[in-house]
Structure 1
């Protein structure tokens, strides 16, 4: 208390600035860095601030002297004046209401300006004023996306929200067309591998084929294997308009039912795509390997290839299972080598995390009709292992085998730091009540053991998600720290240049080192700072794409599950807050919510450890991972929320 009184006396009625966080109930908090404290702002003292605004506040201790309170004096800078929301008409009012669930207050638009709009339209609204006598700001509609809840509406509004470009400008399209129409240039520097059996293996609906595999038996004990990656950097010249656009996007974004490509389709789906029966330029890793899986010789360079056949994963899996079919001997040999590569990787300490993916069949109007779970099969792992090998060998080559100037080691790495110990400790506390063990002294081996134990169990999805959350986020950097999850000292991304700009950077740098054209301006190295900035940009754009893809997937899941309102399902408890329980619906691999106050069997409160709830009357405790039977009672497509009713626990 003495310490707090001193602060009170010294800093009474202090002024400060910070970003405001406003709850749905209207009260707010502003974080003050100098005290590392959140200042409470009462509902009536937010002074027209909106979520995320930079504000000037006056603060002091409350009357009891225990809590710091403040008021907003001035809005220094709005986070944004534009919001996406649902337009609602009230015939008796002079104003239409635009509701946005991320801010605590609705925006009013005069009815006379809403003649061409409809009730339940999803719109982009801009705040134009906030008169003192009004409780709500006034706005104008800038853009209409369509009827709320429809596929086209939701995807276009999501892209607007995330600042993602959907279409390419005419200038970009024209540049892409010119590249497409240009005649094939000199091929004398390319290794001709068109006479070697080569094929692609991709998902059924894939159009952008980044990679192909070739295989040739050299003698009874040795094979030559080629991993051929589309030579995108041959077509996309550094600094060109197309290059600037690709860098800006940095990645293709894959939504349920569609894709927003990094490159125009004439390049991504045609010129650069390694289509069958066509001569294609590639950047290749070619190596000799013996039957024990030992790599005897490596070669990196530009090639020209011709894919003999386009396979789907299912077709290759069928060939592996039945031991017959097109190119059976080649495919089965590659499959056997992939098994050796997996074994060696796991022996070296890699974490073997196989996440299942939720997929949907859509109708002609892109409504979700049915759901299915896609698991990685042996065909997926075949491709994955050769891509991992290529990415590892290329980064090793740059880092270890290039002589001369130390700057030759400059490269773009895919790095993955060690996990946060507190998150691993939290994971341990969660899994132990479920009968599992985690050895903190031998984390990787213990996690792999845990992953084997939970396979096929109801709690598998929850625990796998907790493991993923405990892991650091992989990113791009010129500063190599290795890849923890894969247990690789050197690793890069080289194998998907059609859909990742990071891989284009990796191609350009490798080609610079291979050709040693130091005097040529085109191949002159930039500074470390330049590539580090590009690395950070690619990492940020990747995170944005993942968030957008996840957000849209949640919309599809919620829209699909709506048809099951009133039905009962089994679930697993995945999280708690002060007022709710989150439950993974096992049939749908998505989360719903039960409000604590709605659990009728007792009055439950969150335990101080934050991962159990306990009944006040009967003392019954529920843990994360416990099995629960619930009823689906409501779905909010706009908020992407699923509300459940607690039926009983499942023994």
Structure 2
């Protein structure tokens, strides 16, 4: 039977929530003890009889909610309905949660109950009995796996000891460093510190300096710090550089004799203007049979990087090159990535190629996968190739225009089958020689980019289907696929509900192609609108992430049944795996161990995610650095995110994003409406809604936290 709730005494109205929380904490901290209301009142220092009676009422309510169990008249104990659950720790604003392995609701972990667990740690949590209408809550009882034991921060050095001061989003405590573990670090320098111990009741972990990155604010220091934050390397081991220098290009007559010699065929590369590692080249010629031969030539990296070598081990560990705002941190030593393997013009180069015979409608009549030797006639930048496409003139114009025509036909067919057009505008910076950002510009996909993209996609899916489609009666051999699952229906429905308020419609059920065509129509409709970037961002968030796997489920976003990564072995380890497997199977080799290669795929996907996070962090840092020169200025923006701790605003002019903390919205008390992506004022009912336009003033630029603070102008 439900208990009729007593009216709260006037002097306790404000504090009931706090009082309930304190009573819950006492029971959670003493899960095996029994208390009556007098004992609880004493522990809380509640002396007035009217307040003690109210404590009794709250305990009875908690029993009605089955949070407490009534042991005897007036005596209560924590209801042992909890249990143990495992998962991963994550931070949401200032709160810590456990994301359960089995899925379901996240479990709130009060700060005093984290048991030193940090973001991304794997942990075992004891679940408290759950109150009606409240989020599940628990305490960490065991950290089963630390996500990291090294941290980046700023040294605060005193005469006898030091601390590494961390961003509180990583850890709420600074790391204590004994004087003999400082490694010469000086006050204000950025350093990497390894945690060597953390006593159960100790407030601060104890650590030792692993490396001094340099002075805070120095560009090299800050970029190395970003890499180190994500556990990514920021230097190249000398031993591996030296080993690479021993490798010779080796384009000998004997090696050429084993390959198709294509050095006399018109061949060229198209790459960004600042690129040094040219993974791919295209060739084209008209054959006697009336068809076009289009060659997609990929650097033959695995010819030079041999299994079990130290270069191979380092490439596997890194799994990808990392592209920060001002530098590339290569997967392979520079001698290979920018030298021997790079398809530079007027040099003989060894390649792994897919040679297509195509008709005038860009239909593939026949293909051949083979090792080749090429000699590129010309290195084009995307801008140079684009000028040729737009004007119809310039060097190799006939070849470029023919390939552009084919690429457009391939793209049209791809979208007819349900591919999704996520052509995002990328933020880029003009920077000076010291790394300081001078201006922001936007990189857009033009026809020259799409030309290269379509032929790389064609080569990748051809290679995937070549291995993935087994002969009749035979089982397909283990291979590395690039897969992309269908969207999460719930996320898609939520996204669809949200965009209706902008006047857009999205189909969320039906055939795959129906949904993808509806997404494309939406992306077309938002072009040039103020909400374009917001809706494109939310559309991507409603999609699954593309990953590597040995289990092929196709690629939803590209509308391919078979897809892999074959075309960038200089900068991606999965492409090296694909090259090796292709060679093995083309020479009659047996299928490799699926489980072993699935682990390689998982590692590659994880490293790709880390590299992407580091790239975003470097962009964020440069945005904050750029906006530091604009403190006090007013900009037009769009609300790009809404949380319980504030609203995020993206500036229309330069796409820099900052936050207005909820504490600065002092004209009312605002609460977070998660379902409708908005903050609502309780008194005046003003709403701050995702997608709303705002004028904001730049209040603060915090480079340490990579954070911009705005105020409403």
Q: Same fold (TM over 0.5)?
A: yes
Shift of 1:148: 1.8
| Map 1:84-99 → 2, pairs under 5 A | 84-88=152-156, 96-99=162-165
Report the 3-state secondary structure (helix = DSSP H, G, I; strand = E; otherwise coil) of the residue aligned with 2:256: coil
Contact 1:630–1:645 at 8 Å: present in 2 too?
Answer: yes
Partner of 2:318: 249
Question: Measured at CA, do residues 340 and 35 of structure 1 come closer, stay the same or move farther in structure 2, by a change above 3 Å?
Answer: closer
Contact 1:213–1:228 at 8 Å: present in 2 too?
Answer: yes
Partner of 2:696: 630
Partner of 1:521: none
Separation of aligned partners in 2, 1:246 and 1:497: 10
Separation of aligned partners in 1, 2:102 and 2:482: 36
Contact 2:66–2:79 at 8 Å: present in 1 too?
Answer: no
| Map 1:328-339 → 2, pairs under 5 A | 328-339=397-408
Report the 3-state secondary structure (helix = DSSP H, G, I; strand = E; otherwise coil) of the residue aligned with 1:179: coil
Max radius of gyration: which structure? 2
Asked whether 1:412 is paired with 2:484, we answer no
Partner of 1:496: 568
Separation of aligned partners in 2, 1:224 and 1:275: 22
Partner of 1:484: 556
Asked whether 1:226 is paired with 2:295, we answer yes
Partner of 1:325: 394
Separation of aligned partners in 2, 1:356 and 1:56: 42
| Map 1:547-562 → 2, pairs under 5 A | 547-562=613-628
Q: Is there any run of 5+ residues in structure 2 with no aligned partner, and where? A: 1-63, 71-75
Asked whether 1:469 is paired with 2:545, we answer no
Asked whether 1:148 is paired with 2:216, we answer yes
Partner of 1:211: 280
Partner of 2:349: 280
Separation of aligned partners in 1, 2:399 and 2:260: 21
Partner of 2:409: 340
Work out which of the residue numbers 628, 636, 641 in structure 1 matches 2:707.
641
Contact 1:223–1:288 at 8 Å: present in 2 too?
Answer: yes
Asked whether 1:438 is paired with 2:510, we answer no
| Map 1:146-545 → 2, pairs under 5 A | 146-180=214-248, 182=250, 184=252, 185-218=254-287, 222-400=291-469, 403=471, 406-441=474-509, 442-516=514-588, 518=589, 524-545=590-611
Contact 2:273–2:381 at 8 Å: present in 1 too?
Answer: yes
Question: Measured at CA, do residues 502 and 604 of structure 1 come closer, stay the same or move farther in structure 2, by a change above 3 Å?
Answer: same
Shift of 1:308: 0.4
Shift of 1:531: 2.1
CA deviations on 1:251-286 (whole Å, 9 max, x unpaired) are: 111111111111111111111111111111111111
Separation of aligned partners in 1, 2:586 and 2:145: 50
Separation of aligned partners in 2, 1:449 and 1:22: 36
Q: Is there any run of 5+ residues in structure 1 with no aligned partner, and where? A: 519-523
Report the 3-state secondary structure (helix = DSSP H, G, I; strand = E; otherwise coil) of the residue aligned with 2:247: helix
Question: Measured at CA, do residues 307 and 80 of structure 1 come closer, stay the same or move farther in structure 2, by a change above 3 Å?
Answer: closer
Separation of aligned partners in 2, 1:624 and 1:505: 43
CA deviations on 1:5-26 (whole Å, 9 max, x unpaired) are: 5699786498968679597999
Task: State the superposition RMSD in angstroms.
Answer: 3.4
Question: Measured at CA, do residues 619 and 43 of structure 1 come closer, stay the same or move farther in structure 2, by a change above 3 Å?
Answer: closer
Contact 2:251–2:348 at 8 Å: present in 1 too?
Answer: no
Report the 3-state secondary structure (helix = DSSP H, G, I; strand = E; otherwise coil) of the residue aligned with 2:287: strand
Shift of 1:290: 1.7
Contact 1:345–1:487 at 8 Å: present in 2 too?
Answer: yes
Question: Measured at CA, do residues 26 and 562 of structure 1 come closer, stay the same or move farther in structure 2, by a change above 3 Å?
Answer: closer
Shift of 1:55: 7.3
Separation of aligned partners in 1, 2:575 and 2:88: 39
Separation of aligned partners in 2, 1:485 and 1:132: 48
Contact 1:29–1:40 at 8 Å: present in 2 too?
Answer: yes
Question: Measured at CA, do residues 99 and 457 of structure 1 come closer, stay the same or move farther in structure 2, by a change above 3 Å?
Answer: same
Question: Measured at CA, do residues 69 and 312 of structure 1 come closer, stay the same or move farther in structure 2, by a change above 3 Å?
Answer: closer
Question: Measured at CA, do residues 610 and 122 of structure 1 come closer, stay the same or move farther in structure 2, by a change above 3 Å?
Answer: farther
Question: Measured at CA, do residues 569 and 319 of structure 1 come closer, stay the same or move farther in structure 2, by a change above 3 Å?
Answer: same
Partner of 2:12: none
Report the 3-state secondary structure (helix = DSSP H, G, I; strand = E; otherwise coil) of the residue aligned with 2:410: helix
